[in-house]
Structure 1
C-alpha cells in the first residue's frame, strides 16, 4: 500500500489541488477570479517548456537509433501490430462516442472557422508545414514541429561520426528539459487548483458533468477493450490456447502496472510473462521494451475521449471522414510521442488543440481527464505489449507456434529460438 501511494503521489497531489480549487470555486463563486493569474502562470510555464522538450525528446531518440541492429522483419511486423491495435482502439472509441455522446460545458468561443475556409490541399499544407522557421516555435503548429524534430533526428543519425557532438547535445538537452518539466509540474496542484477554482466559480457545478460523462465512457469502454479486445488479439495469435495462456500470465503485469503507475516499470514483469507464454526471446526482448514507449492502446483511447470532450465543449460533431481520419492520425502520433516524455499526455492535448484550431481555454479540462484515466490507461498500455508480442510471433512463426512448444513452463533455453 505504501508503494502504491508513493507511485501515485504526484497524481494524488494534483487531484487534491483540483478538488481544493473546485471547493473554493463552489464556495466563493466569481470572487475567485482574483486567483486565476496563478493558474495562468502555471499554464504559461508549461506551454513555454513544451516546445524545446518535444524537440529534444524526438530528435535525440531518433538520432541514437543503433544502425547496426538489423532486426528487419521483427521490427516491421512489430510496427504494423503496434499501429494496427492503436488504430483499432481509437476507431472503436469513436464509435462508442457516437453511441454514447459526451456531455461538456462550453468554456469559450470556437476558433475553427479558419481551418474550414481553406481548400483540402491548403489545409494539408498548413497542417504539416509552416512557411517560416520561427512559426515552428508556436504551440499552434505542434504537428509541423514534431515532423521537423524527427527530420533533425534522422539528419543527426545520418551524419555519423561528424554528428557525434550534436547527438550528445541532443541527449543532454533531452535530460535537462525533462527535469525542467518535472520542476514545473511541482506547481501543478497549485496552478491547476487555482484554474479550476476560477472555472467552477464562473461556470458553476455543471463543469463536473464533463468529467462524469468522460470517465463513464473511458472506464466502461476501457474495461471492455481490456477484457474483450485483448482476448480477441490473443485468439488471433494462438486460438483458444492463446487466450488461456495470455490471461494465465497477464495478472502479474496487470497488478504491476496498477501499482507502479508506469509502463516502463512493468517491462520486467512483461518479459517474464512473455517467456512463460512461449514467445521466443528474440521477439519478446524487442517487442516488450519498445512497446513500453511506443505501443499505448490506453493512451489511444484517452486521446479520442479528450478529442470528443473538446468537440462537445464547442458543439461540433465528431463525424465526417476528414475529422475521423485526422483524429486517428493524431492518436497514432500521441501514442508514439508521449512515451518518452514525462507527463507526455499534455503534449498530445496541445497537439489536439493545434490541429483542430481550438482555443487553449479547453486545455485544463482535458488535462484533468488525462489524470483521472491514468490508472486504467497504464494497465492497457502495459499489458497490451505481451499480446502484441504474441501476434508478432504468430506472423513470424506461423499458426502452430504454441503447439510447437513442448513445455511452455520449461527453462529459458528451451524457449529460445535462433534469430529469423
Structure 2
C-alpha cells in the first residue's frame, strides 16, 4: 500500500502544471487583496523563483544555441536570423499602430486631474551605444551580467567557428563533434532543471502575486483604470489579430488554438514575473516540448526576442504618451502621433536591457513631443501592471514568430505536441481535404 504522503503527491503531480500555477496565481492575487502589505512576508519565496529562473537563462542560451548551430550552415543561420529579425520589426510596428488606434478610440486620460509627481528620468543609450553593445568586450562579463544580445552574438560567432574547424576534416573534427555532443547533454540537463524549477513555480507565482498585489493594492487596477484598460485592449487585439489570425492562421497555416495551448505556460509566467528574459527557460521549454519547434530555430529566435522583441512595450508607450497628452490637455496631432510611433519602435531595442526600461522609453518620448516629464511620476503607480501585460505580449510574440520561422524552414513537427492534440479534438481528417 502506497504511503499517504506519496499518494497525495502523486495526485498533486497528476494535475497539469499550468492549472496548478493558474490556481496559485488566483490565490496569490486574492491573498494580496485580502491581507494587503502583510503578504510581503512571502516575498522572499517569489524572489527565489525569479532567481532560479534567472540562474537558468545564460546556461540555456549557451548550450541550446551551440546545439542548434551544430545543425546549421552559416547560410541557413543567415536565413533564419534575417527572417526572425524582420518579423520582430514588422510586428513591433503593427503593435505601435494598434496602440495609437486604441488610444484615439478610448481616449484614456480625458477628464483625469493631473496631480504632478516626481519625474523619473534616465539617459537613454545612443544608437552607437546600442550597436556597440551587441559586441561584448568581455564575453565572460556579458554572461555574468546577463547581457543577452552580447551573449547571443558571442555564442553564434563561437559556434560558427566550431563548424568551420569541424569542416576541415583533420584530427580536430572528431573533437568538435564530441564537444557539440557535450553541449547537447548539457542542454538536456538544463531542461531537467527547468522542470524542477517550474514545480517550485507554483509556490513562487503565489508569492509574487500575493506580495505584488499586497504592496501595490487593488487601487493599481482602478486609480488609472482607463490607461490599464486601453493597454489591455490593445494587447488583446494584437495577440488575436496579429499573432493568432495573421501569423498562425494566414502565414503559418496552423491552428491558433493549438498555438495558445502550447504558449500558455510562458504567457502566465511572463505575467507573473514581468521579465521576458526571466521567462526564457519556460518559453524555450514550450517551444521544444509543446510547439515542437526545432532547436536550431528557437535557440536563436527566443533569446533575441527576449531582448529585442518589444511589441508590448510599443503598445504600452504609445498609449501612455497619448494618456499623458490628454492628462495635461495637449492632445497630439496625427503627425505627432506618427513621430511617437517611429520613436517607440526605434528605441525599443536600445532600452530593452536597461533597468526600468519602460520609464526610460516613456521619458524619451515625452521629451521628444514636448510633454512634461512629471507625468512619468503620475503613471508610475500602474507601471507594474502595465509591465505584466506588456511582458506577456512580448513572450507570446517570441513564440509566434519562432513558430512561423520554424514553418518556413521546415523546422517544426506538426505531427506532435499541441498540434497533434488539436487534430484529435477536431476528429479525423477527411480524405482529400486541405
Q: CA deviation at 1:20?
A: 0.7
Q: Which residue of 1 aligns with 2:52?
A: 49
Describe the shift of the 1:96–1:384 C-alpha distance in structure 2 as closer, same or farther (beyond 3 A): same
Q: Which residue of 2 aligns with 1:212?
A: 229
Q: Which residue of 1 aligns with 2:30?
A: 20
Q: Which residue of 2 aligns with 1:273?
A: none
Contact 2:247 / 2:400 at 8 angstroms: preserved in 1? no
**Residues 1:225 and 2:242 aligned together:** yes
Worse-superposed segment, 306-315 or 173-182:
306-315
Q: Which residue of 2 aligns with 1:98?
A: 100
Contact 1:93 / 1:301 at 8 angstroms: preserved in 2? no
* Matched ranges for 1:270-349 at <5 A: 303-306=310-313, 308-309=315-316, 312=320, 319=340, 323-327=344-348
Q: Any idea what SS the aligned residue of 1:65 has? A: helix
Contact 2:311 / 2:397 at 8 angstroms: preserved in 1? no
Q: Which residue of 2 aligns with 1:114?
A: 123
- 2-structure distance, mates of 1:188, 1:386: 31
- What is the TM-score with the length of structure 1 in the denominator? 0.55
Q: Which residue of 2 aligns with 1:185?
A: 201
Over the aligned positions, Cα root-mean-square deviation in angstroms equals 5.4
Q: CA deviation at 1:172?
A: 6.2
Contact 1:14 / 1:188 at 8 angstroms: preserved in 2? yes
Q: CA deviation at 1:367?
A: 6.1
Q: CA deviation at 1:192?
A: 1.9
Instruction: Please list every run of 5 or more consecutive structure 1 residues that lacks an aligned counterpart in the other structure.
Output: 235-245, 269-286, 331-349, 391-407, 412-420
Cα deviation, 1:14-60, whole Å, max 9, x if unaligned, reads 43135314532xxx6xxx33332533x24533453344422111111
Contact 1:36 / 1:194 at 8 angstroms: preserved in 2? yes
- 1-structure distance, mates of 2:324, 2:143: 29
Cα deviation, 1:363-395, whole Å, max 9, x if unaligned, reads 8535642686699769956874687469xxxxx
- 2-structure distance, mates of 1:135, 1:301: 16
* Matched ranges for 1:29-108 at <5 A: 32-39=36-43, 41-65=44-68, 67=70, 76-101=78-103
Q: Any idea what SS the aligned residue of 1:114 has? A: coil
Contact 2:100 / 2:315 at 8 angstroms: preserved in 1? no
Describe the shift of the 1:194–1:89 C-alpha distance in structure 2 as closer, same or farther (beyond 3 A): same
Contact 2:95 / 2:238 at 8 angstroms: preserved in 1? yes
Q: CA deviation at 1:216?
A: 0.7
Contact 2:308 / 2:349 at 8 angstroms: preserved in 1? no
Q: CA deviation at 1:128?
A: 5.4
- 2-structure distance, mates of 1:387, 1:125: 32
Cα deviation, 1:98-127, whole Å, max 9, x if unaligned, reads 333496999x966542336xx653465457
Contact 1:130 / 1:136 at 8 angstroms: preserved in 2? no
Q: Which residue of 1 aligns with 2:144?
A: 137
Contact 2:64 / 2:299 at 8 angstroms: preserved in 1? no
Contact 2:316 / 2:386 at 8 angstroms: preserved in 1? yes
**Residues 1:194 and 2:211 aligned together:** yes
Q: Any idea what SS the aligned residue of 2:124 has? A: helix
Q: CA deviation at 1:199?
A: 0.5
- 2-structure distance, mates of 1:135, 1:362: 32
- 2-structure distance, mates of 1:146, 1:385: 18
Contact 1:288 / 1:389 at 8 angstroms: preserved in 2? no
- What is the TM-score with the length of structure 2 in the denominator? 0.54
Contact 1:267 / 1:292 at 8 angstroms: preserved in 2? no
Describe the shift of the 1:254–1:13 C-alpha distance in structure 2 as closer, same or farther (beyond 3 A): same
- 2-structure distance, mates of 1:356, 1:128: 24
State how many pairs are aligned. Answer: 327
- 2-structure distance, mates of 1:178, 1:191: 18
Cα deviation, 1:303-328, whole Å, max 9, x if unaligned, reads 42245436839969993756522425
Q: Any idea what SS the aligned residue of 1:44 has? A: helix
Describe the shift of the 1:89–1:100 C-alpha distance in structure 2 as closer, same or farther (beyond 3 A): same
Contact 1:90 / 1:328 at 8 angstroms: preserved in 2? no
Q: Which residue of 1 aligns with 2:19?
A: 9
